[in-house]
Structure 1
Amino acid sequence: MSNLDEYGGGQGPSPDVLVVTTNDVPGHRVDRVIGEVFGLTVRSRHIGTQIGASLKSMLGGELRGLTKTLVESRNQAMERLVEQTKARGGNAVLMMRFDVTEAADLGTEICAYGTAVVIAPAG
């Protein structure tokens, strides 16, 4: 696995469902708005990662274990967002955002959300 995959994410070149953070997709029109969709995951804290992060935070620097966990969590939330969109008949998500919150001091909740739509090439 490359550093690109470990410390980042996003869609490949030809996704089944296009996910964008913009209001529209250049060169496409929105034929139908399906509505809000989201993908959610809650990750508990791994005790080994927490201890390592606590030690690292005293010395300074990136908390690589936590970074990898957050990347995995965001990617899982995105996968679930795409599944929800496909299940509702959409082929795109507009205005996608992430929301990250603490879940009752037990872990971290990551939610990917946006507006599911059906788009088609303009013209």
Structure 2
Amino acid sequence: MGNIGSIDEYGGGQGPSADVLVVTTNEVPGCQVDRVLGEVFGLTVRSRHIGSQLGAGLKSLVGGELRGLTKTLVQSRNEAMARLEEQARARGANAVLAMRFDVTEAADVGAEICAYGTAVVISRTS
């Protein structure tokens, strides 16, 4: 297996000190939901870079990972996630449940990446 790059280049997610917990589950073990604040989302739209499109087109002829596009998608998801957290924090939430990503084509010029979920206030059960 070749060099896959650093975790920051090809991965994402929250760090250990996040003040708004974001999970893909409907509940957090050991916690109860005290208040549901509603849906929150973070959105970004990324245009396609002509150079990366040409490179991706050439790479698709021979197969393999499109690393430039992978990095762009990771950056876009992380940006959408940060905006989701910001929205949740602004509403007074300390967690987002059932977080999902949605990626769609944006008028044939790029991609819309949306992170969404339910903003809640949780507390530990003892």
Question: What TM-score do the two structures reach when normalised by structure 2?
Answer: 0.95
CA distance in 2, matches of 1:66, 1:30: 38
Q: CA deviation at 1:3?
A: 1.6
Aligned: 1:119 with 2:108: no
Unaligned runs of 5+ in 2: none
Q: CA deviation at 1:40?
A: 0.2
SS in 2 for 1:114: strand
The amino acid of 1:107's aligned partner reads G
Q: CA deviation at 1:106?
A: 0.9
Q: CA deviation at 1:30?
A: 0.5
Aligned: 1:12 with 2:26: no
- For 1:27-46, what per-residue CA distance to the aligned partner results, in whole angstroms no more than 9, with x for missing partners? 11111000000000000000
- The runs of at least 4 consecutive aligned structure 1 residues that moved more than 2 Å come to none
CA distance in 2, matches of 1:74, 1:11: 12
* Structure 1 counterpart of 2:100: 97
SS in 2 for 1:68: helix
Aligned: 1:79 with 2:82: yes
| Aligned residue pairs, count | 122
Aligned: 1:54 with 2:69: no
Aligned: 1:31 with 2:17: no
CA distance in 1, matches of 2:71, 2:94: 29
The amino acid of 1:73's aligned partner reads S
Q: CA deviation at 1:14?
A: 1.9
Root-mean-square deviation (Å):
0.7
SS in 2 for 1:11: coil
The amino acid of 1:106's aligned partner reads V
Percent identity, aligned pairs only, is 78
The amino acid of 2:120's aligned partner reads V
* Structure 2 counterpart of 1:22: 25
Question: What TM-score do the two structures reach when normalised by structure 1?
Answer: 0.97
- For 1:94-116, what per-residue CA distance to the aligned partner results, in whole angstroms no more than 9, with x for missing partners? 00000000001010000000000
